[in-house]
Amino acid sequence: MYGWKVEKFSKDQIELYQEVNQTCPQHFKLIDENGVIVIYQANEKGSYQLVDETEINTKYLSEEDQAKLKEGIQIVGEEKMNSILEDYE
């Protein structure tokens, strides 16, 4: 069955499960590049590609936030990423 496992089976419902060795495209990384926050998104292979360059200037953020952004902030979920970006605006 190509790696699928039956998790639950009844007369009304079947639940299948499969583990896939890929990165979900809902993984993002926020990084400070040239004084603004840049968004990278993971592809299936786990490498990150540039998606967008915001207009959020990092020089107005706290030193702690600036340090986190220099390292890169890993985020799972577009909603969570948008929430974090709103906090920085």
In CATH, the number for domain 22-88 is 3.30.70
Q: Pick the range with the lowest mean pLDDT from 2-6, 17-21, 75-79.
A: 17-21
| Domains of the chain by residue range | 22-88
Please say if the pLDDT value at position 22 is more than 70: no
Q: Give, as one character, the DSSP assignment of residue 86.
A: H
Cα 39 off chain centre by: 9
If we measure between CA atoms, which residue out of 60, 67, 59, 1 comes closest to residue 34? 59
* 49 neighbors 41 (Cβ within 8 angstroms): yes
pTM: 0.71
Higher model confidence: residue 22 or residue 53?
Answer: 53
Alpha-carbon distances of 38 from 4, 6, 11, 28, 87, rounded to whole Å: 37, 41, 49, 10, 15
